[in-house]
Structure 1
Amino acid sequence: MLDVETHRAQELLDELVDVNLLDVVTAFEPPARYRFHDLIRAYARECVEAEETPERREEALIRAFGAAGADPASADPLSLLAAEGPALLAAIGQAADLGLDEICWELALGTETLFQARRSLDRWENAYGPALALTEAAGNKRGEAALLASLTGVHFMRRRFDLAEACCTKAVRLFQELGDRMGEAQALQYIPYVLVAAGPRSVAGTSGTFTLSDLSPTVAR
């Protein structure tokens, strides 16, 4: 967030802890986590708004969002994701409020492993909601397609097969428009499960789903 080397950032954190401006939440399991007292957080926000330009504040937030979405260097990434879940959800909402569509959808997609493993379907959908609305409004086809493909799994697990099919269909179409064959193939992985689960109507092709002729040639092969 400060755009400094890791060791310098750690020195600054230690200084804040030493003067009781920052609390250590967890210290024994890396990475350590810190928390401001509510009053100090409010005062710090006032100082930033008074002393920094909107551009510099946004740049700092973008760096923070990038760190939040980084792959965790941990032997147990799922535990780390669980610990960082609330911060990730907050970052997704904040990125959406700022209109940072690329960062927003990448952060949202990064929660898929956590919510899928824990079957936290409500939180999964809630995390994707702001990102999906933003990518659609911004015309970010890749982000929208990636989120829709992932949401197909949510709807499938909830047995909402019509919604699953609609998400998958749109995701494949968007990937085709982008010429993204890998994305198209990844989105299509759900089609057999959705069609079979939905029953004979979809399998018979009467629900507006795919045939092989709809696929890009490289994917169909």
Structure 2
Amino acid sequence: MALSHPWNLTPKDAIALQNQLRSQVIQVDQIRQPRRIAGVDVGFEQSGKVTRAAIAILDFPSLQLIDQAIARIPTQFPYIPGLLSFREVPAILQAIDKLSCVPELLLCDGQGLAHPRRFGLACHLGLLTDIPSIGVAKTRLIGKHEQLPEEKGSWVPLMDRDEIIGAVLRSRSGMKPIYVSIGHRISLDSALNYVLAATTRYKLPETTRAAHHLASVDKSAVTGRPESR
């Protein structure tokens, strides 16, 4: 890993760490055309007592599955909006360690810069792994935006006051949008292009769909988690 830190933190210490690390997030392209893109998702088993992290690597641009891994660990951090990476990333890192090949781009089911402290799960994971990363969320955590056209591929900036913190993207015509934001080592324009390239006939990118299926295979054992992280 490019960076490491303790995980046994209080919420106050976790917020302080987010504020400390957010300046290290790189918001410009430091990525070559990837051959392996990964979806990252997390579910919870046993009423939230076990964190189940899944990562699925797809060949790019064919989007064929080439590797996958699951990690289960006891849940250590409470559910606190804005601090979900401290609850989920430890299991994600263990899942990444089980892979036979290294992904070159991470599409995370969660927020990146579109976060109150500009340090959502995609930023945190990207910084820890030094892998370019994108936040692809199904719901909005913060920010406002103008009306979005109905056509696939249309997008408008997601704004927090005068700052662009992400984009509201219509990934499928006539469907609710998704929320894309920078994680690490990528620009917003490139993030949008890769998300659209990974999206076929469904609303969510194939990376997210593959990881979600892996994270929730046993639906009777997995509890849902909030969508805006």
User: Which structure carries more relative contact order (alpha carbon 8 Å, separation 6+)?
Assistant: 2
TM-score normalised to the size of structure 1? 0.28
Q: Decide which structure has the larger Cα Rg and report it.
A: 1
Q: Which structure shows the higher strand fraction?
A: 2
Q: Which structure shows the higher helix fraction?
A: 1
TM-score normalised to the size of structure 2? 0.27
